[in-house]
Amino acid sequence: MTQTTETPMVELKGVKKRFGDLEVLKGIDLSVDRGKIISIIGPSGSGKSTLLRSVNNLEVIDEGTILLDGVQVNRPDLKGLAYEKHINHIRQNMGMVFQHFNLFPHLSTLDNVTLAPRKLKGMKASDARALGMELLERVGLADKAQVYPSALSGGQKQRVAIARALAMRPKVMLFDEATSALDPELVEEVNLVMKGLAEEHMTMLIVTHEMTFARDVSDWAMFMDGGVVVEANTPEHLFSHPDQERTQHFLRKHLGAQA
Ligand SMILES: Nc1ncnc2c1ncn2[C@@H]1O[C@H](COP(=O)(O)OP(=O)(O)OP(=O)(O)O)[C@@H](O)[C@H]1O
Ligand SMILES: [Mg+2]
């Protein structure tokens, strides 16, 4: 995105992904510098979720390279235990928040947040508890620490999901339409947490249908369609006077619908 000698936090080079005969990502290049926020927008089926899932190696790409802080994420050369170890390392450095909160229903809010650091990092119970409380405080839910997910609103669940993702101290946060399953009045509380992370210079890749939020929060914006990056630019440029007709058409539809 900018000329720099620093290693990008996330870098994609010529990433291709097929599902059977359908090529969903057709050669994606993307570079996100440390502490920067990129919004990814585009019509349904354009490959946005597949792209994020590929970054996290939830999807195995067919061609190209994905790097996290200079370390190659996709490693077709690794097999068995070595591959598992590698993937665990990568996933520990990336927090992901999906559209549908997938909290563990049988665990309290606090235990949802502390599970990964306890199990994966072997963190002591007292340290994990302190970390969990700090993160719940940060998302405004310290008073819900002992409550089970079924007693939380959608926005609260999603904030716990963010705290849970942060518990591994990730280098990057990936958001896939984190607010699109929420009632409109609950969207803002989640957006505020995401804005807070932005202010703390968390590197973030955000897939969203909320154009206003994307314009406000991101350093760079990318419009995808049909598995390609149609255009990428500063949010001011992309949202206000996009160069490509496809982007103009998409934004007319979406900004129109939001107004
Ligand atoms: N596991 C899968 N198997 C087969 N096809 C898939 C799979 N996952 C996604 N696809 C297809 O890949 C294409 C891109 O899907 P993807 O979910 O990445 O789109 P998207 O941009 O996130 O869309 P939306 O805005 O609706 O979430 C779609 O045509 C979808 O049907
Ligand atoms: Mg999607």
Ligand 2 centre and the CA of 134: distance in Å?
31
pLDDT of residue 259: 41
Taking the C-alpha atoms of residue 10 and residue 26, their distance in angstroms, rounded to an integer, is 18
Which ligand approaches the C-alpha of residue 53 most closely?
1
Nearest CA among 225, 247, 146, 140 for reference residue 188: 140
Q: pTM for the whole thing?
A: 0.94
Helices within the chain (DSSP H only): 48-55, 80-92, 109-121, 125-138, 154-166, 184-199, 211-217, 235-240, 245-258
Mean pLDDT by 10 residues, the chain (259 residues): 76 98 97 97 97 95 97 94 93 92 93 94 95 97 97 95 96 96 91 95 96 95 98 97 96 72
**End-to-end CA gap in the chain:** 30
**How many whole angstroms separate alpha carbon 183 and alpha carbon 170?**
28
Task: With CA atoms as reference, report the closest residue to 39 among 205, 188, 255.
Answer: 205
Q: Who contacts 152 (Cβ-Cβ below 8 Å, separation ≥6)? A: 109, 144, 160
Contact of 98 with 178, CB cutoff 8 Å? yes
In the prediction, which pLDDT does 83 show?
94
The ligand minimizing its distance to the Cα of 18 is 1
174 Cα to the center of ligand 2, angstroms? 12
Q: Whose CA is nearest to atom 30 of ligand 1?
A: 45
Domains in the chain (CATH in brackets) are: 10-255 (3.40.50.300)
Q: What is the pLDDT of residues 76-103, one digit of tens each?
A: 999 999 999 999 999 999 999 998 878 9
Q: Is 48 in the pocket of ligand 1 (CB under 6 A)?
A: yes
For the stretch 162-182, pLDDT in tens is 999 999 999 999 999 999 989
Q: Would you say the CB of residue 155 lies under 6 angstroms from ligand 1?
A: no
- Would the CB of 46 count as within 6 Å of ligand 1? yes
Closest CA to 69 of 11, 30, 12, 29: 11
